[in-house]
């Protein structure tokens, strides 16, 4: 890598995607990229981890069609208004014009809920919790960037139905906890979970809650959001059930959308370093890379030792490979550091003889000697220590970027260095939007919302950072991707 992450994050990101072969941006439809094997292998692991968490909480998988008839779209008016500008339409098939346009799903509410109305009849059908791993298409007008924003992205959406509003609210908490378990605990990416302001919620929702992380340049990247839909969709889509008294009731719904490709952008940005990718051990396509180092004539003994060590790792269930290419050892070290392999084992002539092997860990670069007989036990310990360090490092970096701001001057300063400004706020209603719009115009900062699950109140006598009216809330403001 030529560019240092701390010197120019944006350039570093572009260079990393090219050099580590994560995506190819040369595909000839604007806004669409090819996701390459090295990123897809990690994203498939991310899918599996997330899907396992969803299944633990009672969700079942389903595959819904990618095409949605236009009339479904029009059933919920705010939804159609919110999404229409981004929809790709299919208007022709087999050379004939279609009688009704079909939308390439930008999200699947209107595909799934018409089926839900057929499936749900009584209390025995509830709760219904279904997830759908797929890609969606949105004609983004903002500048696209691989993984961060593209016109096709890969995600999971879960769509849940309940008899009561209380159960739907509990689902929002469950979704947030799931995000913490996967994204923070396993992928080492911290975030804050916000209740979005009313003017910035999902089209058709009663309330939107979303996880925001910070990229190394201090700008916010939105990770999963979960939406309390209330009865806004169950009424037009006719999702009803007979309650205990035999009375017909509209159901309550939630939907949740972890975008795997975007979470991947956060994983590589937050954890990566000047040498390239740093991947938490559960996400690395290969965990251990063995590098043979030999002089002419010494190949046989070294390669035999490498093969024996590789077999030990594979027998222990670890993903391991040997770099047998013609490149120099130094080139191989750099290459696999760029690719984010967590552990490198170096085996030269002396190591092959003594069995004392050199082991390097990706994040610190530290080298230790470990006897081959202890390798299979020691490597998992090194990996778990590395994961803990990555988690602690990203948490410290994140928390250091949350600062208080009480005046517009302070807000400007916080946004200039990057990160969240925590500010007193007049209201999240209509007047609040006016303040938010003016703040956006003056500072390009966005009001992300109030912290979810923590009732943060402004100090007594505090006034809105913008208009000076009495403050009722504490909001977080940041520049966003
Ligand atoms: Zn105000």
Residue 425 CA, ligand 1 centroid: distance in Å:
6
* Overall number of domains in the chain: 3
pLDDT of residue 448: 96
Q: What is the pLDDT of residue 430?
A: 61
Tell me, yes or no, whether 3 lies in a domain: no
Please choose, from the candidates 191, 194, 139, the residue with its C-alpha nearest in 3D space to the C-alpha of residue 446: 194
| 357 Cα–ligand 1 center, Å | 63
Residue 431 has pLDDT above 70, yes or no: no
Please state, for a pLDDT cut of 70, what percent of the chain lies above it: 99
Rounded-to-integer distance, Cα 418 and Cα 478, Å: 8
Helix or strand holding residue 474 (H, E): strand 473-478
Alpha helices in 58-108 (DSSP H): 70-73, 77-83
Q: Which residue has the tokens 């279609």?
A: 98
CA of 255 to the centre of ligand 1 (A): 31
Residue 6, pLDDT score: 94
For 146-207, the DSSP string reads: TTTB-SEEEEEEEEEEESSHHHHHHHHHHHHHHHIIIIIIIT----EEEEPPGGGS-TT-SE
Is residue 352 domain-resident? yes
Q: pTM (2 decimals)? A: 0.96
CB 54 within 8 A of CB 60: no
In eight-state DSSP terms, residue 404 is: E
Judge if 325 and 445 occupy the same domain. no
Burial class (CB in 10 A: 0-12, 13-18, 19+), 325: exposed
400 CA distance to ligand 1 middle (Å): 26
- From ligand 1's centre to the CA of 426, what distance in Å? 4
pLDDT at res. 255: 97
Q: Which pLDDT band holds residue 454 (cuts at 50, 70, 90)? A: confident
Residue 428 confidence class, pLDDT cut points 50, 70, 90: low
Question: Does 239 share its domain with 307?
Answer: no
Centroid of ligand 1 to alpha carbon of 195 (angstroms): 18
| Percent of the residues in the chain that have a pLDDT greater than 90, as a whole number | 92
Same domain for 250 and 300, yes or no, is no
Q: Which of 271, 299, 333 is the last residue of a domain?
A: 271
pLDDT of residue 79: 85
Give tens-digit pLDDT for 369-380: 999 999 999 999
Domain end point (choices 350, 384, 418):
384
List Cβ neighbours of 469 (8 Å cut-off, separation of 6 or more).
426, 427, 431, 463
Instruction: With respect to residue 233, please indicate whether it lies within any of the assigned structural domains.
Output: yes
Answer whether residue 361 is part of any domain.
yes
Q: Is 267 left (phi over 0), alpha (psi -120 to 50) or beta?
A: alpha
Whether residue 300 is found in the same domain as residue 265: no
Indicate if 123 and 266 belong to the same structural domain. Answer: yes
Cα–Cα distance between 385 and 180 in angstroms, integer? 20
Distance of CA 398 from the midpoint of ligand 1 (Å): 27
At residue 151, does pLDDT exceed 80? yes
Q: What is the pLDDT of residues 268-323, one digit of tens each?
A: 999 999 999 999 999 999 999 999 999 888 889 999 999 999 999 999 999 999 99
How far is the centre of ligand 1, averaged over its atoms, from the C-alpha of 436 (Å)?
Answer: 8
Average pLDDT of the chain, as a whole number: 95
Query: How far away, in angstroms, is 467 Cα from ligand 1 center?
Result: 4
Q: Ligand 1 centre from 342 Cα, in Å? A: 48
How many angstroms is it from 224 CA to the middle of ligand 1?
28
Distance 468 CA to ligand 1 centre (A): 6
Cα of 172 from ligand 1 centre, angstroms: 28
Residue 381 has pLDDT above 80, yes or no: yes
Distance 206 CA to ligand 1 centre (A): 23
Q: How far is the CA of 474 from the centre of ligand 1 (A)?
A: 11
Domain membership of residue 397 (yes or no) is: no
pLDDT average, residue stretch 70-86: 90
If you average pLDDT over residues 110-118, what whole number do you get? 97
Rounded to an integer, what is the distance from CA 162 to the centroid of its chain?
A: 26
Ligand 1 centroid to residue 397 C-alpha, Å: 30
* Cα–Cα distance measured from residue 40 to residue 37, given in angstroms and rounded to the nearest whole number: 5
User: What CATH number does residue 470 fall under?
Assistant: 3.30.110.30
Asked whether residue 421 is domain-assigned, the answer is: yes
Residue 13 lies in a domain: yes
Neighbours of 184 (CB within 10 A): 19
Shared-domain flag, residues 348 and 375: yes
Ligand 1: centre distance to CA 79 (Å):
28
pLDDT tens per residue, range 247-256: 999 999 999 9
Domain boundary among 219, 243, 271: 271
- Please give the backbone phi and psi of residue 163, each rounded to the nearest 5 degrees, phi first: -80, -30
Please tell me the distance between residue 432's alpha carbon and the centre of ligand 1 in angstroms: 6
* Cα-to-centroid distance, 457 and ligand 1 (Å): 15
Q: Is the pLDDT of residue 455 over 90?
A: no
Does residue 280 fall inside a structural domain?
A: no
How far apart are the CA of 441 and the centre of ligand 1, in A? 14
How many whole angstroms from 229 Cα to the centroid of ligand 1?
A: 28
As a whole number of angstroms, the distance between CA 405 and CA 242 comes to 51
| Per-residue tokens: 210 | 């979303």
Looking at per-residue pLDDT, the higher value among 387 and 429 belongs to 387
Confidence tier at 143 by pLDDT (50, 70, 90): confident
Tell me the CA–centroid distance for residue 196 and ligand 1, in Å.
Answer: 16
Range(s) of the domain holding residue 316? 286-384
């Amino acid at each position: 890598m030529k560019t240092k992450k701390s010197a120019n994050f944006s350039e570093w990101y572009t260079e990393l995607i090219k050099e580590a072969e994560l995506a190819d941006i040369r595909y000839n439809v604007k806004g669409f990229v090819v996701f390459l094997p090295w990123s897809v292998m990690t994203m498939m692991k991310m899918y599996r981890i997330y899907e396992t968490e969803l299944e633990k909480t009672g969700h079942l998988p389903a595959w819904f069609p990618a095409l949605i008839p236009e009339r479904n779209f029009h059933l919920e008016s705010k939804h159609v208004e919110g999404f229409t500008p981004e929809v790709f339409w299919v208007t022709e098939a087999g050379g004939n014009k279609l009688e009704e346009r079909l939308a390439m799903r930008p999200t699947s509410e209107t595909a799934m809920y018409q089926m839900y109305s057929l499936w749900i009849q009584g209390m025995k059908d509830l709760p219904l919790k279904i997830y759908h791993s797929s890609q969606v298409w949105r004609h983004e007008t903002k500048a696209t960037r691989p993984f961060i924003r593209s016109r096709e992205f890969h995600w999971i959406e879960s769509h849940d139905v309940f008899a009561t509003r209380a159960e739907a609210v509990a689902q929002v908490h469950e979704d947030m906890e799931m995000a913490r378990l996967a994204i923070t605990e396993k992928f080492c990416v911290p975030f804050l979970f916000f209740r979005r302001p009313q003017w910035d919620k999902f089209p058709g929702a009663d309330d939107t809650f979303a996880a925001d992380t910070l990229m190394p340049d201090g700008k916010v990247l939105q990770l999963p959001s979960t939406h309390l839909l209330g009865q806004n969709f169950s009424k037009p889509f006719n999702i009803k059930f007979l309650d205990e008294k035999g009375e017909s009731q509209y159901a309550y719904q939630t939907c949740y959308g972890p975008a795997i490709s975007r979470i991947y952008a956060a994983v590589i940005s937050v954890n990566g370093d000047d040498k390239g990718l740093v991947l938490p051990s559960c996400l690395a396509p290969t965990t251990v890379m063995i590098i043979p180092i030999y002089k002419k004539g010494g190949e046989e003994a070294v390669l035999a030792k490498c093969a024996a060590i590789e077999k030990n790792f594979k027998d222990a269930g670890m993903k391991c490979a040997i770099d047998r290419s013609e490149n120099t050892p130094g080139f191989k070290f750099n290459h696999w550091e760029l690719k984010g392999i967590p552990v490198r084992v170096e085996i030269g002539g002396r190591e092959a003889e003594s069995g004392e092997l050199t082991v390097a860990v990706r994040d610190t670069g530290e080298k230790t000697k470990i006897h081959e007989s202890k390798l299979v036990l020691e490597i998992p310990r090194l990996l778990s220590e590395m994961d803990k360090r990555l988690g602690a490092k990203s948490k410290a970096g994140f928390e250091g970027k949350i600062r208080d701001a009480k005046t517009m001057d302070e807000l400007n300063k916080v946004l200039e260095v990057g990160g969240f400004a925590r500010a007193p706020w007049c209201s999240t209603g209509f007047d609040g939007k006016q303040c938010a719009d003016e703040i956006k115009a003056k500072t390009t900062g966005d009001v992300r919302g109030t912290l979810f699950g923590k009732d943060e109140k402004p100090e007594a006598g505090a006034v809105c950072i913008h208009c000076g009216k009495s403050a009722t809330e504490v909001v977080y403001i940041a520049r966003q991707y």
